Amino acid sequence: MLAKKPILYFTFLLAFQFAFPQASSKPDVKLPFAKRSYTTRSVAGEKPIRIDGLIDEATWDVVDWTSDYVEYEPDNNTPPSYQTKMKIVYDEKNLYVAFRCYDPNPEEIVQRMGRRDDFPGDWVELNIDSYNDDRTAFSFTISASGVKGDEFISNNGNFDPSWNPIWYMKTNIDEEGWTAEVKIPLSQLRFSNGNDQVWGIQSTRRYFKKEERSTWQPIPADPAGWVSSFGDLKGLKGLKPQKQLEIQPYSVGRYNSYEAEAGNPFRDGRDGELTAGLDAKIGVTNDLTVDLTFNPDFGQVDADPGAVSLDGFEIFFEERRPFFVENKSVFDFRFANSQDNLFFSRRIGRTPQGTPYGPNTAYIDQPNNTTILGAAKFSGKTEDGWTIGLLESVTAREFANVINEDGSENEVLVEPLTNYVVGRVQKDMNNRNSYIGGMVTATHRNLEDEVSFLHAQAFSGGIDFKHSWKNRMYYVEGDAVLSNVRGSEEAILNTQTSLVHLFQRTDAGHVEVDPSRTSLTGTGGRLEFGKSGGGKWRYNVGGKWLSPELEINDLGYLRQADDIRQYLNVRRVFNKPTGWFRKAVVGVEQLTAFDFDGNYNRTHYELKGFINYKNNWWSEGGAAHKPRIFINTFLRGGPRWRFSEENYFYIFSGSDQRKKLSTRFGYVHSDAKQNNFSLRRYEAGLQYQPLNSMSLSLNLAYETNPNKTQYVAERSFQNNARYILGAIDQETLSATFRLNYNINPNLTIQYYGQPFIFKADYSNLNYVTDAKAKDLDKRVSWYEDDQISFEDGKYLIDENRDNAVDYTVSDPDFAFVQFRSNLVARWEYIPGSEIFLVWSQGITGMGDVNNGFSAIVDNQLLRQKPQNTFLIKATYRFIL
């Protein structure tokens, strides 16, 4: 019966789809607010507008001001504290925008500064849906302090700050408030070549003192879509799309210093290099562009935060490299889970996967990353609703230099020449209420003997769709993916037995290891129905699956296959302010999980809520009950493992983040029955803005996570597998400090530093007796004193008490210590062209688990010589 439940859930979802009428070309629900329009005019041939923030040229007089902004939040559909006015004109090359933001107390206008896309203090924003497709838009934000913000908006409300166009703006404060002038080159926008065009527009103003948002086009609180609620910009006549051609060469000088390692010629204490490369952006048509990069440099990228994974799974880190981050929404294909994606760009240029270590290896010089020889992206959206993306990248063969104990030297291949290809397409349909799309990826490796354990070829593909109706209040969406990997018997055997798949699991009746296979083919997908806007309630219900053979990790990201889930979420929103809160949300969640063998693995119930108080403080919290927790991967190929029933709660709260000094605190509390495991996590954060040009933040986190049954090792005893666990006293401490200082909006200094310490102290080793038993004392058996002893860093185990050691286990205790820091000075000396000065420091090592945190900090951080990297990078952006 349990195995049939997922089928019932999917049947239930399909019934919902047919229970609601399909959307017609005209909305069948009236918009809550009338759509506004503004008519612009061309100023071609008029006196040029100077971008100085003063709005004093007669050229502006060819159009009227538009005003009547309406409060969006906190008190929706009411007059704002102070009004805002806007003008828009254009010529054959640029769009010009002027803003007048009224404030009778100009001395109280908050002019906080930050790096680009920080959105500090008072600001005003313009969103432009130049395709008028109700799904995509370009966003330009102007802070009163002169700081720029720009984002690309996709999927009717997903803001992506990685988009960095070239545009110009200035602001000015006077006795009436503050003003702004903006010039946006038409080459930075995408639009049709129609003679008489209508664009969607929206303008939002933030009045910082009251944390108030007002919009030019009135919209309801928490709308079903952002772009689809825009007003109209009319009067655009004779516009000619501008083909973009930009070339950005760069040069980088890098010097590294570190502690020399005696006798190791690869670690003599210093090294350096000078490199150069080129980025280019070419407008193929007015809709589509090609981005190229040759020998890309990612030297100034922020360091990944510290993390340790005891469950064996790969830790997911976000992409930070500029080439792959920009326009990333086009290539996004998430399915099943929030992180599972057909394309995970960090696979390109990844750490080499081969190992050069051999029995006689003395010293090794191995590259940290694979060299990207070149990469190209072809992407954009056409006026008839086609979103297109094509990416290709080639990475080089990578070798590790090896010196053997006899003094001989050789090179070992650790990563083959590899070609990556990604293709993406989506088509808007049904008056922009629906879309359907597809994606394909391919990885081809030029394999040689040293790396035959890798897949020779890997392919994946998928289709996705979304259909909305009743003014986008209701929707049904879904996706389905297919994967195929090919390679040697060794490569496919490694995939079958990897933690993602575990075909060797002893109690799995639906999969088995086949060492003769040379390919695997799997599927996955999701189907969901929900209500995303309108009224006071939101909900979604859905199901998803990942088949046992699904494998996309050559160019995508998949944490675990062999999973079927059903989920339900219901939320009640409170968007009307009261005497004690501005807005609030409360919701419930429920999910169940199965595998393809029909095993019922998990049940989860959760209640959670968020409230923004009248004084702009906030709190969020929740509580959950997990009566059933089975994990297929815990014993690394052993039987399904049962954890005891768990209950947890969390609460976080913080003060008004607009204040010069703001704080946040959080606590997470979890307990399992029979004290199987527990979690206590404490977080504290502080943000201080002593000057408009300077901000500091400090975030502390301490976590203790004891567990009586943490996996340690697998051994053989009397021809049977013995799964050995241990009680772990696990502690984590981290501190993240950031400093931002703006000399002016285009010259900034940033510092980031994070020490991270992880301690794992094991005791009370035990072994699995019945992995599925509800009672913990029947699930495992603890070694008694006459069965276990410790000697020379190993546990000696005489399980049958015959005075002979049956098996040994190395001491699993460890402490991991890491410190990462970056000091970056960035000067955008002309729009789009930059100089970076970077100083990075890093320490990574192992500490003594018997020491306290203070001793570990002293011995492993303060007393160790860090590796220092000094870098200077210069770019110049040619616009042709």
Q: Domain spans of the chain?
A: 40-237
Q: How confident is the model at residue 3 (pLDDT cuts 50, 70, 90)?
A: very low
User: Using an 8 Å Cβ cutoff, are 215 and 204 in contact?
Assistant: yes
Query: What pLDDT score does 857 carry?
Result: 80
Query: How confident is the model over 44-94, as pLDDT tens digits?
Result: 999 999 999 999 999 999 999 999 999 999 999 999 999 999 999 999 999
Query: What pLDDT score does 307 carry?
Result: 64
Q: How confident is the model at residue 288 (pLDDT cuts 50, 70, 90)?
A: confident
DSSP code string of 465-493: EEEEETTTTEEEEEEEEEEEEE--HHHHH
Q: How confident is the model at residue 305 (pLDDT cuts 50, 70, 90)?
A: low
DSSP code string of 383-414: TTSEEEEEEEEEE--EEEEEEETTS-EEEEEE
Percent of the chain scoring above 90 in pLDDT:
70
Query: What pLDDT score does 1 carry?
Result: 35
Alpha carbons 548 and 560: distance in angstroms, whole number: 9
**Alpha carbons within 13 A on the beta-carbon side of 742:** 23
User: Using an 8 Å Cβ cutoff, are 429 and 422 in contact?
Assistant: no
Give me the chain's average pLDDT, please.
90
Q: How confident is the model at residue 862 (pLDDT cuts 50, 70, 90)?
A: confident
**Alpha carbons within 13 A on the beta-carbon side of 313:** 16
The secondary element (H helix, E strand) that includes residue 845 is: strand 833-847
DSSP type of residue 538: E
Residues 6+ apart with CB under 8 A from 177: 82, 100, 101, 102, 103, 104, 106, 109
Query: What pLDDT score does 298 carry?
Result: 56
Alpha carbons 18 and 128: distance in angstroms, whole number: 35
Asked if pLDDT for residue 178 goes beyond 90, the answer is: yes
Of 665, 736, 740, 661, nearest in space to 695 by CA: 740
Alpha carbons 646 and 675: distance in angstroms, whole number: 10
353: how many CB neighbours lie within 10 A of its CB? Answer: 13
Amino acid at 600: Y
Query: What pLDDT score does 303 carry?
Result: 59
Query: What pLDDT score does 483 carry?
Result: 97
Alpha carbons 311 and 392: distance in angstroms, whole number: 33
Asked if pLDDT for residue 455 goes beyond 80, the answer is: yes
Across 46-50, 257-261, 807-811, 857-861, least confident range: 857-861
How are beta strands 231-237 and 37-39 bridged, if at all?
A: parallel
330 versus 612: the higher-pLDDT residue is 612
DSSP code string of 409-420: EEEEEEE--EEE
Query: What pLDDT score does 17 carry?
Result: 35
CA distances from 674 to 493, 588, 704, 775 (A): 39, 27, 18, 8
Residues 6+ apart with CB under 8 A from 76: 220, 221, 575, 576
Residues 6+ apart with CB under 8 A from 280: 246, 247, 248, 290, 291, 292, 293
Query: How confident is the model over 500-519, as pLDDT tens digits?
Result: 999 999 999 999 999 999 99
DSSP type of residue 107: G
620: how many CB neighbours lie within 10 A of its CB? Answer: 17
Query: What pLDDT score does 309 carry?
Result: 67
Mean pLDDT value of segment 138-156: 94
Query: What pLDDT score does 23 carry?
Result: 36
Mean pLDDT value of segment 435-451: 95
Q: Would you state the CATH architecture of domain 40-237?
A: Sandwich (2.60)
Percent of the chain scoring above 70 in pLDDT:
94
The secondary element (H helix, E strand) that includes residue 325 is: helix 322-325
Tokens 């404060």 appear where? 173
